[in-house]
Amino acid sequence: MAGLSLDLIALQLFAGLALGAIYVLFAIGLSLIFGMLTVVNFAHGAFYMVGAYVGLYMLSLGGNFWLCLIGVPLAVGLFGLAVERVLIRPLYGRSIDYPLLLTFGLSYVMVELVRIVFGKTGYPFDTPEILQGAVNIGVGYFPLYRLFVIGAAAAVLLALWLFLEKTSFGLIIRAGARDPQIVRVLGVDVSKVWLIVFGIGTGIAGFAGLLAAPLQGASPEMGGTILAEAFVVTVVGGMGSIGGAVLAGLLVGVVVSMTSLFAPEMAKVSIFALMALVLIVRPQGFFGRAGLMS
Amino acid sequence: MNGIVRPYRRAAAAPVSWFQFATRHRASIASLAVLIFPLVMPFTALAVNILIYGLYALGFNLVYGYLGLLSFGHAALFGTGAYVCGIAIVHFGLPWYAAIALGIAGGLLMAAMIGVLAIRTRGIYFAMVTMALSQCVYYLFYQAVDWTGGENGLRGINVRDIDILGVRLDFINPLTRYYVVAAFVIAAFFVLSRILASPFGAAIEAVRENESRARASGYDVRLTRLMTFVLSGGFCGLAGALQALHLSIVPIEILYYDTSGIVVMIALLGGMGTFFGPMVGAAAFLLLENLVSVWTVHWQLFVGAIFMICVLFFPAGIWGTLISRGKR
Amino acid sequence: MTEGKSMRKSGSISRRRLLTTVGAAVLAASPFRINLLQAEEASIKIGFPVPLTGPYGTEAQDQVRAAGLAVAQFNDAGGLDGRKAELVVRDDKLNPGEAATRTLELVEKEKVSFVVGSLSAAVQLAINNVTKERGVIFNSISQSDAINEAADFSKYTFHEALNPHITSGAVGRYAFPKFGKKVVFLTADYAYGHEMVRGFLEVGKAFDIENLADIRHPIGTTDYSTLLPRIQALKPDILCICNFGRDQQISLKQATDFGLKQTTQIIAPLLSHASRVAAGPQAFEGVIGGCSFYWGIEDKFASTKAFNDAFRKMYDGRLPSDYGALGYGGVRTVLAAVRNAGSVDTDKVVAALEALKYDFYKGPQYYRKCDHQSVQSVMIIKSKSKDMRNESDVFEVISTEEPDEANLRGCAELGHKV
């Protein structure tokens, strides 16, 4: 094969990590929401997409990209809070399929609303000036912005880890993930915890959408395929496990990247094949709770 | 004694309610509705689509409504039936009835393959796994361009004249096509009704109601689930085959997860776990889509909103709600 | 005796209830009832399925406008001995299954005489399959090589739009002698992408190009970062981007981000107006490609000027786009053939279309006999971001390839009996 060298493979690996970073951010929110609320948020892709559009809107109001990095997850998270309170809360106590179904319908509505407000075609999203261009990372030139994406994702992960490990609220979340009953008995308002977790999860999804926007532009359909791929990440990593989401997200990104090098048509199939393999060998994924399987 | 002889009165038969009457004759009633249907639809091709999607939802309902497992990958079963039927006609020149039979077989086989992998999981996990596996099937069929036409779809499923018991029918004629499709759907109604009334049907319900008790009673839970999934594949495969013949093409989009999502919406809209629910849901969904599309290009907004309203307030669906009213 | 009354419990079926229920059902169904009292339809109906919903909604709406103009012009000129034409627009949602259903509706219920439309290869092939089985003329207005091939073709099939072979051929003939011999292809992995590459390679033989790599990506890819390093490493003179719509916008953008434009000339077979507007000037800067129509050629052709003016008049100063013009051409040729034939009889109109020599919006055109492909010019364009006359002035036409049957694939090659 022409041009195949160690440098190229290393470059490809980096590209895989950057791709994986977006998967990780997206899947973490999904996993968090599932781990705490046992809700599969089928609208997660729509929140991701809304993040990109909110970013567009903020930029058009005259803000700069750095403000968006803070503003977008806040705005999307707030919207997530409203959705949990108004639409999902009434469904607790019923079969656990219902929130899934509701979020599924919600995704249709959100996508169409964005189409109505912003139009069908989608918008270009310019990479912020400072982050344009490519840098020599030793093995070749790599876009600066993608390095930023890797860094931003790492920062968010660190912040999340600190939050979960070092704060009392984080303690409640971890306890609640293990046993919601005990937490309730101890006097904690579980519904409030769920509300906030949903907000955090969707906020992170919005943040991921904002990060992805300069890479591919903003379009109403952008949440679609990443959702299916994120399911692979969560199955491989284990639903409800954040560490699993991180590892699996990066793994999936690298698998797609490396398959693209040798057989690009099979890149998409490869991740589903990976998932099928995991299902056969270890159905609960890397760190999933075995109790979830029957 | 006052001389009045009371004549012997036979114990009057218990008055039959609408509900009991309908349940006993459900297959016949459904068949009757199917027969007069095209006369009240805006156009016949839509009526055929409703039948086909109704059958698709019927198959799905077996797994979700009756067994209680939410699958987001049924497009793989529907699509496989369609492609196998189409390929049989286009690439092998087989007659239409053989193609339909092969379509059903394709659905059964694909369901077995997906089922074996997916049945290891449960609940919400099942939904995600089936979705991801069916996406895999989508990409595989997409790549097999020589067989499936890839993105361009499979064209040339042109069936003109069909011979049934010596009678030559013109398949191009919209009403003829409708009644041929209806015949298959009606047959499927009867088969499903038999299955549900059989001991296997009882097993399905037992597993849904209380899995550990079912296991303790000696039911092989895993096998029951797998068998149900495979049967569901048969019905969905038939629906797919009929779709291929009706549209004379198979679009690659039939395997995309949107198609899985549509059947979930239809089943919920109509009413899961009920016999007529899927048909009612298909009619409601497709009519709604058709009607709303005429007014606005933003029909997805309305369809999504109505679906959410159903999830929140009418989880039994249109038909399910009507039934529970009727029971009272 | 009171027993009789008490026997009738609520919920039991009485004959009266049965009748009222059935009656109500029939009444309720009547709004859907097809009106049998339809008067003899005098208008000439043209079915127009286009993707009003979905990512190409903007293009589709432009097509509807332009087609509406063609119908209006026909009617204003008197129609066919007083019979007016009517455009019956349907939304095919860019889905071949939906398109087939809509076409069935148009043919079976609306009883259209002709069908014009479609915006994707899959959709046009689906529509074509339905119309040809029922003997209805279909004039396709979107790109595809397959529709010319014998397997999909029928005497009722016409193709007003360009196909990938012609477009990539024209762009290749322009670019290969200018920019170098080492070529890399970035191709969307579906029929359209493959057809574009095939066209380029055929043309490239004459210029001795070196095909360094044909890198395939799944349609709908949003991240090319895994493919671009490899392209960079190959150091090509020309990068041929063989995809469309969102894929093209994103890949151009990311190729720009990766700095590819500094060392490589990027070409694409088809650059669409809507994509250029959606992706912005930065991504398209320096990219050279082809298109079937650009309003800016009105300086060259009186027919273009007339079309632009009429469009502007009817639609508040708007200018027609490339896709819009196809909608116009597709409908106008069918109506012109109807007028020439003096009837809507299918066989007569087919003959009239085959004999038609026209210049309606971009210069001289005609339909080749063996595959009904419209032989027409191809414009080579480059994105423009300075000195724009108006907001639609996003391209500059740097060359034009005149209509020539030799640029099409051979009839025999397509499987037609010559």
pLDDT for A155 equals 94
What is the residue extent of each domain of chain C? 44-162+296-376, 165-291
Q: Which residues make beta-bridge pairs with C90?
A: C49
Alpha-carbon separation of residue B327 from B13, B20, B319, C10 (angstroms): 19, 9, 12, 12
Indicate whether C396 pLDDT > 70: yes
CA–CA separation, A185 vs A220, rounded Å? 43
Interchain pair B153, C34: CB under 8 A:
no
pLDDT, tens digit, 9 for 90 and up, residues C226-275: 788 888 888 999 999 999 888 898 899 888 888 888 889 999 999 988 88
For residues C47 and C117, the answer to whether their CB atoms sit within 8 Å is yes
Of C217, C226, C274, the CB nearest to A121: C274
- Cβ contacts of C250 on chain A, cutoff 8 Å: 215-217
CA–CA separation, C70 vs A105, rounded Å? 40
Interface test with C, best of B25, B247, B295 (most C CBs within 10 A): B247
pLDDT, tens digit, 9 for 90 and up, residues C122-139: 999 999 999 999 999 999
CA–CA separation, B223 vs B212, rounded Å? 14
Q: Among A157-166, C1-10, C342-351, which stretch is predicted with the lowest mean pLDDT?
A: C1-10
- Cβ contacts of C96 on chain B, cutoff 8 Å: 153, 249, 251-253
Residue identified by tokens 């597993």 is B207
Determine the 3-state secondary structure of B195 from DSSP. helix
- Cβ contacts of A232 on chain B, cutoff 8 Å: 132
Indicate whether C33 pLDDT > 60: no
Indicate whether C203 pLDDT > 80: yes
Q: Among A237-251, B170-184, C354-368, which stretch is predicted with the lowest mean pLDDT?
A: A237-251
CA–CA separation, C8 vs C4, rounded Å? 7
pLDDT, tens digit, 9 for 90 and up, residues B94-132: 999 999 999 999 999 999 999 998 887 777 778 888 888
Q: Which of C55, C200, C101 is nearest to A218 (CA)?
A: C55
Q: Which of C89, C87, C98 is nearest to C61 (CA)?
A: C89
pLDDT, tens digit, 9 for 90 and up, residues A48-83: 999 999 999 999 888 789 999 999 999 999 999 999
The single-letter code of the amino acid at A120 is K
C165-291 topology per CATH: Rossmann fold (3.40.50)
- Cβ contacts of C130 on chain B, cutoff 8 Å: 247-249
- Cβ contacts of C277 on chain A, cutoff 8 Å: 121
Interchain pair B21, C13: CB under 8 A:
yes
Q: Check residue A140 and give left, alpha or beta (phi > 0: left; psi -120 to 50: alpha).
A: left
Interchain pair A235, B129: CB under 8 A:
yes
Q: Residue B253 phi/psi, 5° resolution?
A: -65, -15
CB atoms within 10 A of CB A19: 28
Alpha-carbon separation of residue A85 from A37, A79, A80, A193, C138 (angstroms): 13, 10, 9, 12, 52
CA C82, C115, C71 angle in degrees (round to 5)? Answer: 40
Tell me the CA end-to-end span of chain C in Å, nearest whole number.
Answer: 93
For B:166-225, CB contacts with A below 8 A are 211
- Residue A1 falls inside a structural domain: no
CA–CA separation, B64 vs B61, rounded Å? 5
CA–CA separation, A68 vs A212, rounded Å? 13
Instruction: Report the b/e string of B201-230 with b at 16+ CB within 10 A.
Output: bebbebbbeebeebeeeebebeebbbbbbb
For residues A125 and A214, the answer to whether their CB atoms sit within 8 Å is yes
Q: Determine if the pTM surpasses 0.90.
A: no
Determine the 3-state secondary structure of B248 from DSSP. coil
Query: Measured between CB atoms, does B62 come within 8 Å of chain A?
Result: no
% of chain B surpassing 90 pLDDT: 41
pLDDT, tens digit, 9 for 90 and up, residues C278-322: 888 888 999 999 999 998 888 888 999 999 999 999 999 889 989
Find the largest Cα–Cα distance for chain C. 107
B42-327 topology per CATH: ABC transporter involved in vitamin B12 uptake, BtuC (1.10.3470)
Q: Which CATH number fits domain C44-162+296-376: 1.10.3720.10, 3.40.50.1820, 3.30.450.20, 3.40.50.2300?
A: 3.40.50.2300
Determine the 3-state secondary structure of A221 from DSSP. coil
CB atoms within 10 A of CB A60: 9
Q: Which helix (H) or strand (E) holds C212?
A: strand C210-217
Can you list the alpha helix ranges (DSSP code H) found in C235-394? 246-257, 273-279, 281-284, 302-314, 322-341, 346-355
Alpha-carbon separation of residue B19 from A184, B25, B201, C12 (angstroms): 44, 10, 20, 10
Q: Residue A249 phi/psi, 5° resolution?
A: -60, -45
Q: Give A220 or A188, the one with higher predicted confidence.
A: A220
Query: Measured between CB atoms, does C258 come within 8 Å of chain A?
Result: yes
Interchain pair B151, C109: CB under 8 A:
no
What is the residue extent of each domain of chain B? 42-327
Name the interface residues of A facing C (CB cutoff 8 Å): 2-3, 5, 7-8, 11-12, 15-16, 18-19, 119-124, 126-127, 132-134, 140-143, 145-146, 212, 215-217, 219, 221-222, 225, 256-257, 260-261, 264-265, 267-268
Interchain pair C218, A145: CB under 8 A:
no
- Give residue A143's domain range: 6-292
- Cβ contacts of B253 on chain C, cutoff 8 Å: 95-97
CA–CA separation, C143 vs C156, rounded Å? 17
Tokens standing for A170?
A: 């984080």
Of C234, C246, C258, the CB nearest to A3: C234
- CATH code of A223's domain: 1.10.3470
Percent of residues in chain B assigned helix, strand, coil, to nearest 5: 75, 5, 20
Interface test with B, best of A49, A221, A272 (most B CBs within 10 A): A272
CB atoms within 10 A of CB C57: 22
CB atoms within 10 A of CB B32: 12
